[in-house]
Amino acid sequence: MRLPNPFRMNDWNNKTFFWVFQAIQIVFLGVVCLDLVGYYIPIAREALAFLYLTFIPGVLVLKALRLHDLGTIETVLYSAGLSLVVVMLTGLTANFVYPLLGYTRPFSFAILLLTLVAVVQVLLYLALTRDKGRTGESPGLAVPSSPAVPFLMLLPFLAIIGTYLRDNYHMVTLLFLLLVLIAVIGLAVGFDRLIPKSCYGLGIYTIALSLLYHTSLISEYVWGYDIHHELHLANGVLIPGLWDMTIPYNTNGMLSVVALVPIYSLICDLDPVWIFKIVYPLLFALVPLGLYRAVEKQTDARIGFLSIFFFFSFFTFYTEMISLARQQIAELFLALTVLAMIDKTMDRGKRAFLMIAFAFAMIVSHYGLSYIYLFSLVPAWLLLAVPERLYSWLPERLARGISLMRPDPLVPARTGGRAPVRTLVLPYILIFAALTYLWYSTVAEGTALATVTGIGDKIWNTLFTDSFNPTTAQGMHILTSQSTTLLHGLAKVVHIATQGLIAVGLLATLARRERWRIEPEYLAVSLVFLLINVAGIVVPFFASSLNTSRLYHITLIFLAPFAIIGGIALYERLTGWIHAIRAAPFMGTAYQALAAFFVVFFLFNSGLLYQVMDDNPTSMALDTAGDKPVFNGREVQGAVWLFSEGNERPIYVDGTRWWLLLGFNPGSQRYVPANASLLEPNSYLYFGTYNLMRESIRIETQAHAVTTATYTDAERFIRDHHRIYDNAGSAVYYR
């Protein structure tokens, strides 16, 4: 008996779909009811609630749209994306409607569960009525028989066990093994061994998830930077049961934080801390999978895998992004937008619906990514529209003469005598811009709109006076600063080489687009993103508004494939110069060389090489001794005690512990000044574990766009203070 493919439920016939769907819903609600009356089944509610929220609404929307035969990967991706859109819109609607009806706590478990079930029932009705002609046999489930399947599925569990051993026994052996195995997989794909192409999609997802878990699961509390304030805002919705959209802070306008986190927390019955640490990585790992599918459809499977291996090897993916929950969700919607954009076979109206839905979701998820993508669309559209209009207006003979007898690389060819399909059109850009302005100007007192205008003014005022200045252009500072050691200097060279490969790849694609088959829209946006990369190096205050590493990570969403194309083009040219060797038979060797190069890139970025050589370790997971924004239970307990005092006295904290306190009360804390005499009277001084053990405080100074940190003796700050709290992991002093 052939089992129906559960990853393609929208392709099932209506009878099978209806009964299986109702069975899933009954089991889910039954487990929830058992939990409410005291019969808890471990993991059952959490897992079923996650699947219910993440996939069921999206599958129903796909079926209502009559989008079929998308394939397993596309169906999973679109189902997840559309489900998140439905869940966020449900939370937004409930927050406005229920208070008008007299119910003042719309973000509470009972009302949200009933609302979500009602929304799902409406979507089920629409799906069955609009897709009533769906009959016949449901697609079967095909599982690759390769032994690579269980091996790849083991990786996330290795990360989970490895972080448990690290946190409780200070053992990082399994995490070392995990990173080595990921490097081996990269080499195996390059050498076309062990991992068949049918397993590439599974490999991309499990590697991405294991990399995310090997950092997100360290500590029992959230770690990093912005995520502490995101946690504060999510709790600010859960405690009163209502989202206050008037709080004037950029992140308060992001539904990916103030709606999605509370809903997942309530329905899954998980603390928001674990939503950030467990659930969001499960969602964010879909980004590389979506990008892999987009690249594979334009090139081939091996180029797609190596491209995404490059993308998630860059350290920002599994370090900085762990502490940026809102950007994780926004990048998922951008990846889905890319996937829909390059699909020229989809019905035009359905594709427009998907792209606009994902555009809105991106806007309400992260303002920075939305602005970058919006501002890239206009020049990308011009790159596509101007040559196309030019060739359509000029006589055919003159147009051919201007183009030197070859078509423009950004003008798509006609297929079957029909006009080329264009997916990046002006109405889409105008709708995107209108939604952006309406949301950012009305929510959170318009702070997101004011932020981007302020950055624009700052850039414009310094553009012609401080360009290439390392103190104002953060990217230039990174390039020109002296590396701390020889090994770190070598890593910088490897990073610069990847950008060189990207530039070569774009040139090679423009020269021979018929070979690489990159869609014009994707290529046009990629050219703009390359310029954004350059702007991050030379334009004052541009990269620092996000952070240079984050900006580069965002551009790799489009640019990563061109590093592989550039590497192949360079290899072919080099072998072509050796007259005794023909380039074509050495295509396999090109992949091998690229796999070896990007494995080295991964070993540098993961911090494995630095840890082995004991050379200024950088890994959040492998290094347990350095001063990093990773906080233990005693530090959290000390912060909870401090804010339980309930007064508004100033709280001084150093540059690292600042982020921990940001999650409790961002209005009362101060940075420890370099001069101890500047500490205000009647104030608190908070010390974390690092401060107590090393008797050291991190002092940060800002010079234009560059932040520098120095460590100074902690003793001189506490001479006139009384220790009023101490739990051997954190301490509070009062003056």
Look at residue 471 in the predicted model and tell me its pLDDT. 62
| pLDDT range class, residue 536, cuts 50, 70, 90 | confident
Write the CA distances from 33 to 44, 52, 77, 104, 267, integer angstroms: 12, 15, 30, 24, 12
Task: Report the distance separating Cα 487 and Cα 453, nearest Å.
Answer: 40
Q: For residue 166, is pLDDT > 80?
A: yes
pLDDT, tens digit (0-9, with 9 covering 90-100), for 432-478: 999 999 999 999 888 888 878 776 766 666 655 666 666 666 666 67
pLDDT of residue 618: 87
Residue 7 has pLDDT above 50, yes or no: yes
User: What stretch of H or E contains 708?
Assistant: strand 706-713
Residue 395 has pLDDT above 60, yes or no: no
3-class SS of residue 476: helix
Of the candidates 582, 522, 92, the one whose C-alpha atom is nearest the C-alpha of residue 299 is 522
Give the Cα separation of 130 and 65 in Å (integer): 8
Is the distance from CB of 331 to CB of 295 less than 8 angstroms? no
- What are the structure tokens assigned to 610, written together? 């630095």
The edge-to-edge listing of strands for the beta sheet with 731-734 is: 669-671, 651-653, 684-687, 731-734, 722-726
What are the C-alpha distances in Å from 399 to residues 382, 394, 404, 513? 18, 6, 9, 19
Asked if 373 contacts 362 with a C-beta cutoff of 8 angstroms, the reply is yes
**Mean pLDDT over residues 188-201, rounded?**
92
3-state secondary structure of 154: helix
pLDDT score of 573 more than 70: yes
The stretch 697-701 carries a mean pLDDT of 87
672 alpha-carbon distance from chain centroid = 32
pLDDT at 403: 47
Q: Which of 143-157, 218-232, 576-590, 624-638 has the lowest mean pLDDT?
A: 576-590
Per-residue pLDDT band for 385 (boundaries 50, 70, 90) equals: confident
Print burial letters for 229-246: b (CB count within 10 Å at least 16), e (below 16). bbbbbbbbbbeebbbeee
Q: Residue 545's pLDDT band (boundaries 50, 70, 90)?
A: low
What does the alpha-carbon distance between residue 566 and residue 505 come to, in Å, rounded to a whole number? 3
Which of 172-181, 349-358, 691-700 has the lowest average pLDDT?
691-700
Q: Quick check: 177 pLDDT over 90?
A: yes
- Residue 256, token pair as written in the block: 């990916």
Mean pLDDT of 146-166: 95
- Of 11-25, 281-295, 662-676, the least confident: 662-676
Could you tell me if 47 and 55 are in contact, meaning their C-beta atoms sit under 8 angstroms apart? no
Q: What is the pLDDT of residues 106-150, one digit of tens each?
A: 999 999 999 999 999 999 999 999 988 777 666 777 777 788 999
Distance CA 561, CA 509 (A): 11
Residues 6+ apart with CB under 8 A from 620: 215, 218, 223, 319, 607, 628, 630
Q: What is the mean pLDDT of residues 199-203?
A: 95
pLDDT of residue 411: 59
Q: Mean pLDDT across the stretch 555-564?
A: 96
Asked if residue 84 lies in contact with residue 26, where contact means CB atoms within 8 angstroms, the answer is: no
Distance CA 130, CA 288 (A): 32
Q: What is the pLDDT of residue 535?
A: 86
- What phi and psi values does residue 145 have, to the nearest 5 degrees? -85, 5
Say if residue 371's pLDDT is above 50.
yes
pLDDT tens for each residue of 597-638 = 999 999 999 999 999 998 888 898 998 878 889 999 999 999
The pLDDT value recorded for residue 408 is 53
What DSSP character marks residue 582? -
What percentage of the chain carries pLDDT values higher than 90? 67
Packed helices 72-100 and 44-54: angle between N→C axes, nearest 10 degrees: 90
pLDDT at 398 over 70: no
Mean per-residue pLDDT, 163-185: 95
Average model confidence (pLDDT) for the chain?
A: 88
The reported pLDDT for the residue numbered 404 is 41
Encode pLDDT of 66-99 as tens digits: 999 899 999 999 999 999 999 999 999 999 999 9
| pLDDT higher than 90, residue 31 | yes
Q: What is the pLDDT of residue 583?
A: 43
Contact 691, 681 (CB under 8 A): no
Two tokens, residue 341: 């954009």
Range of lowest pLDDT (231-235, 327-331, 696-700): 696-700
Percent of residues, the chain, with pLDDT higher than 70? 88
DSSP labels, 229-273: HHHHHHHHHHTTTS--TTS--GGGG-HHHHTHHHHHHHHHT--HH
Give the model confidence (pLDDT) of 309-345 as tens digits: 999 999 999 999 999 999 999 999 999 999 999 998 8
pLDDT at 561 over 60: yes
CA atoms within 13 A on the CB side of 476: 17
Residue pair 361/88 in contact (Cβ under 8 Å)? The answer is yes
Is pLDDT of 161 > 70?
yes
pLDDT at 165: 95
Q: How confident is the model at residue 402 (pLDDT cuts 50, 70, 90)?
A: very low
pLDDT confidence of residue 586: 45
Please give the helix or strand (H or E) that residue 699 lies within, else none. Answer: strand 696-703
Give the separation between CA 513 and CA 507, rounded to whole angstroms. Answer: 10
Q: What's residue 391's pLDDT?
A: 56
Supply φ then ψ for residue 667, to 5 degrees.
Answer: -90, -15
pLDDT at 329: 98
